[in-house]
């Protein structure tokens, strides 16, 4: 017997916890797992909104059949084609060969490309309404939140927004499905990490989506990952507005790359001097030991960033190169930057970070500190200056 969790009368959540997968998109760590949510609307007509990753397709079809209790499935709304949500389309179509797939003009070639499906596709226009009987579904595109074809589905009669990736989260469900059924603190950083890792690159597009959807009356936001927003809708809307503008809190993240600890010592000097300057939100992170997912998430929270590296074969320490490449890719904006490092003969670490600074166009608050072999008195004085300049820039 399957669970029957209703958002409203005969609008069901069909969600799957994935605690086996180590890496989301084969890249981002899933310490707390992840959930894939689909939704089923049963009215005079029936509609499934999104599916789940392929390994869950059998369970999804069984669940749909149980809830439909002999009725057919009339529509499958494809809000997004990334395979974590589209991965069970083929099995749903096999179970319901006459089901009509609903998507926009960018969805169609992806369905054919990923799954070879060309039949029974209905292309919708912006804000088009599909009646199911006593309830209806309305469709709004939100390009690049998260892919070009991404869209959301709105049920005006129930004031539910099926938002797909938008407003989603890492973290499998621990029994609670709605935001008032959970230990919110357990999820909170996973909500932020999902945004900073998956959605952050598209801040401008998130702003457009917020403006487009801003006029809708919304009582529930039902994403395809994580919890259903019901009592904390202002919280997540406020976060999305802030995050998509790349606004951040007062604080500093120091990320260092070190082989034998000389560069790490400089990081600790700067951290202490920052605290003495009144900055108490200071995080010191070893790039070689911390997955970039968590480093990006910390940098997303705080306005100040201090990057430091030893030299390595005339260049930068590889774990630092890796994190800088990710930061450039996501294109986080509006950060204050300071640079430090160490060299043993020709250097290379500090030079590479300076080049990175040009590429991301962050505001450099002071001259870099580059110690020869180990930090001496003069180097430490420069570090105190870096801390003061960073603290001043955050005031
Ligand atoms: Fe959760 Fe962009 O897929």
* CA nearest neighbour of 321 among 310, 306, 331: 310
Q: Residue 197 in contact with residue 28, Cβ under 8 Å?
A: yes
- Centre of ligand 1 to C-alpha 85, Å, is 7
Taking alpha carbons only, the member of 77, 76, 81 closest to residue 109 is 81
Q: Which long-range contacts (CB under 8 A, 24 or more apart) does 43-46 make?
A: 43/10, 43/132, 43/133, 43/134, 43/135, 44/132, 44/133, 44/134, 45/74, 45/75, 45/131, 45/132, 45/133, 46/71, 46/72, 46/73, 46/74, 46/75, 46/132
Whole-number pLDDT of residue 322: 96
pLDDT, residue 149, reads: 98
What pLDDT tens digit does each residue of the chain (395 aa) get? 889 999 999 999 999 999 999 999 999 999 999 999 999 999 999 999 999 999 999 999 999 999 999 999 999 999 999 999 999 999 999 999 999 999 999 999 999 999 999 999 999 999 999 999 999 999 999 999 999 999 999 999 999 999 999 999 999 999 999 999 999 999 999 999 999 999 999 999 999 999 999 999 999 999 999 999 999 999 999 999 999 999 999 999 999 999 999 999 999 999 999 999 999 999 999 999 999 999 999 999 999 999 999 999 999 999 999 999 999 999 999 999 999 999 999 999 999 999 999 999 999 999 999 999 999 999 999 999 999 999 999 99
**Distance, CA 107 to ligand 1 centroid (Å)?**
14
At 48 the pLDDT is 98
Helix (H) or strand (E) holding 286: strand 282-286
Alpha helices in 42-87 (DSSP H): 57-68, 83-86
Whole-angstrom distance, CA of residue 329 vs CA of residue 322: 11
Based on its alpha-carbon atoms, the radius of gyration of the chain, rounded to whole angstroms, reads 24
What is the pLDDT at residue 60? 98
Residue 1: what pLDDT?
Answer: 82
CB of 351 closer than 6 A to ligand 1?
no
Distance CA 324, CA 318 (A): 10
Ligand 1 atom closest to the Cα of residue 146 is 2
Residue nearest to atom 3 of ligand 1 (CA): 82
Write down all domains in the chain, each with its CATH number in brackets.
5-244 (3.60.15.10), 249-394 (3.40.50.360)
Which tokens hold the place of 264?
């790490």
149 lines ligand 1 (CB under 6 A): no
Say what the pLDDT of residue 379 is. Answer: 95
Using CA atoms, how far residue 395 sits from 143, 156, 304, 333, in Å, is 36, 45, 11, 18
Residue 202 near ligand 1, beta carbon < 6 Å: no
Query: What is the pTM (predicted TM-score) of this model?
Result: 0.95
Residues 6 or more apart in contact with residue 237 via CB below 8 angstroms:
210
Q: Is the CB of 179 under 6 A from ligand 1?
A: no
Segment 193-196 long-range contacts (CB within 8 Å, at least 24 positions apart): 193/28, 193/293, 193/294, 193/297, 194/168, 194/169, 194/170, 194/225, 194/226, 195/239, 195/240, 195/243, 195/300, 196/243, 196/296, 196/297, 196/300, 196/330
- pLDDT of amino acid 268: 98
């Amino acid at each position: 017997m399957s669970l029957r969790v209703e958002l409203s009368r005969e609008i069901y959540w069909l969600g799957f916890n994935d605690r086996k997968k180590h890496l989301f998109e084969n890249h981002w760590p899933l310490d707390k797992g992840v959930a894939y949510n689909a939704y089923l609307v049963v009215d005079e007509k029936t509609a499934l909104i999104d599916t789940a990753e392929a390994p869950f397709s059998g369970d999804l079809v069984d669940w749909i059949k149980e809830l439909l209790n002999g009725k057919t499935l009339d529509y499958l709304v494809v809000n997004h084609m990334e395979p974590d949500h589209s991965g069970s389309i083929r099995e749903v179509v096999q179970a319901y060969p006459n089901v009509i797939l609903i998507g926009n003009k960018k969805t169609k070639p992806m369905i054919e490309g990923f799954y070879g499906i060309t039949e029974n596709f209905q292309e919708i226009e912006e804000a088009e309404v599909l009646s199911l009987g006593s309830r209806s579904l309305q469709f709004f595109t939100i390009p690049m939140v998260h892919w070009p074809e991404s869209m959301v589905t709105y049920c005006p009669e129930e004031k539910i927004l099926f938002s797909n990736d938008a407003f989603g989260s890492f973290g499998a469900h621990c029994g609670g499905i709605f935001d008032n059924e959970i230990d919110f603190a357990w999820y909170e950083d996973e909500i932020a990490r999902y945004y900073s890792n998956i959605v952050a690159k598209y801040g401008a597009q998130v702003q457009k989506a917020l403006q487009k959807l801003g006029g809708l009356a919304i009582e529930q936001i039902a994403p395809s990952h994580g919890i259903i927003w019901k009592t904390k809708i202002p919280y997540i809307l406020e976060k999305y507005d802030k995050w998509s503008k790349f606004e951040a809190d007062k604080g500093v993240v120091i990320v260092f790359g070190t082989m034998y600890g000389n560069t790490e010592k400089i990081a600790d000097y700067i951290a202490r001097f920052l605290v003495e300057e009144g900055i108490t939100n200071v995080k010191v992170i070893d790039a070689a030991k911390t997955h970039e997912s968590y480093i990006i998430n910390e940098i997303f929270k705080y306005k100040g960033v201090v990057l430091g590296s030893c030299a390595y074969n005339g260049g930068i320490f590889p774990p630092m190169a890796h994190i800088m490449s990710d930061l450039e890719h996501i294109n986080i904006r509006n950060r204050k930057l300071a640079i430090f490092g160490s060299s043993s003969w020709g250097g290379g670490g500090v030079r590479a970070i300076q080049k990175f600074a040009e590429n991301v166009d962050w505001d450099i608050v002071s001259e870099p500190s580059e110690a020869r072999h180990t930090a001496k008195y003069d180097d430490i004085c420069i570090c105190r200056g870096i801390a003061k300049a960073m603290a001043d820039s955050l005031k």
